[in-house]
Structure 1
């Protein structure tokens, strides 16, 4: 595959270099393009983070957030193979390494779903701690999500992976579905979380509902510290042999 791209690239005046693993290309010597290529790895990192949180946290909100992200991918695949809008052809390079269709942009739809869902989650669901510093911090995190989305979406056009309308389409669909999924989760599913958590399969998998706990990190810290102290006292009261 790389031989095909390198051979095609030498036919033009500009050398396009494939980025390892993702096969995102950037112009050789273009540092800004390389940064954008690296930024396009963000969806992969986000999926790994989702999986890590689901395995180690086992929280229903996180699990349904991942389900929504996966449904967003299904929608993208269905739209791409229904509309069949081709990707831009850079210098006549073959499209094998890009995928056949480009509308809507998968990266743009993915990251805009994530940005919309995460910002709504930060601003409306995780608001139990009403201190001014925490409010500012949540707004800062939400802004960072959208800044990352802008960088990735801009990079898809800059690197020639998609046309502008393919990226805009992905942004609109991803943001719309991310907003819908948050509303559906917050108002439709959350009231049933205690019931779902009580299912035998959830108890067996240690799936839990932490919706009503204001600060889960502080709660787990205090619980672990209290349990550690209790066990330490119990151990110190045991009669010593000999």
Structure 2
């Protein structure tokens, strides 16, 4: 009896040019949404914070809306890409931007670094530190969105 042919698990299957170092970095950036899901699950499990759970519910709602929009708009991916599915809107870009904007809004508007229940060893973060972290999150989201264009998975309009 002959073994059946093996199939590829395409969850993390990213096409990139191995001779191009920027393409290699872009391929790793494509894995950021999966890393964020692991981070959400870990934080929900370990902290039991309602804010983290609500952020994850919002993230999944945004993903469901993206799925529906792709099927409503039905815009093809760039011709250079042999990927499956529709290209508009980019689920990678919306995923990381939802996270980045949510984190930014939480850090700059909601977070109280001087909480009364903080431990004696707690060092509060300044507004400048929180703003810098917010900028880093938004820059990372822009890098992920740019990587989708660089790898020819999306056009600039789709991102």
**TM-score class, shorter:** 0.7 to 0.9
Partner of 1:66: 56
- Superposed, 1:36-55 pairs within 5 Å as 36-55=26-45
Shift of 1:128: 4.0
Partner of 1:22: 12
* 1:102 equivalenced with 2:87 (yes/no): yes
Partner of 1:134: 126
* Partners of 1:53 and 1:116 in 2: CA distance: 18
Alignment check: 8 A CA contact 2:75 2:87 kept: yes
Alignment check: 8 A CA contact 2:113 2:125 kept: no
What is the DSSP-based 3-state SS (H/G/I as helix, E as strand, rest coil) of the residue aligned with 1:65?
helix
Report the RMSD for the aligned CA atoms in angstroms.
Answer: 1.9
Partner of 2:68: 78
After superposition, give the CA deviation of every residue in 1:89-145 in whole Å (9 maximum; x if it has no partner).
21xx5x3xx331010000011111111111010001113439995212111110110
Q: Compare relative contact order (CA 8 Å, sep 6+) and give the higher one, 1 or 2.
A: 2
Partner of 2:147: 155
* More divergent stretch after superposition (105-114 vs 121-130): 121-130
- Superposed, 1:1-242 pairs within 5 Å as 22-90=12-80, 95=82, 98-129=83-114, 134-167=126-159
What is the DSSP-based 3-state SS (H/G/I as helix, E as strand, rest coil) of the residue aligned with 1:25?
coil
The structure that has the greater radius of gyration is 1
Shift of 1:71: 0.1
What is the DSSP-based 3-state SS (H/G/I as helix, E as strand, rest coil) of the residue aligned with 1:152?
helix
Q: TM-score scaled by structure 1?
A: 0.56
Aligned residues between the structures: 143
Alignment check: 8 A CA contact 2:113 2:124 kept: no
* Partners of 2:17 and 2:32 in 1: CA distance: 20
* Partners of 1:54 and 1:156 in 2: CA distance: 29
* More divergent stretch after superposition (126-135 vs 58-67): 126-135
What is the DSSP-based 3-state SS (H/G/I as helix, E as strand, rest coil) of the residue aligned with 2:16?
strand
Q: TM-score scaled by structure 2?
A: 0.84
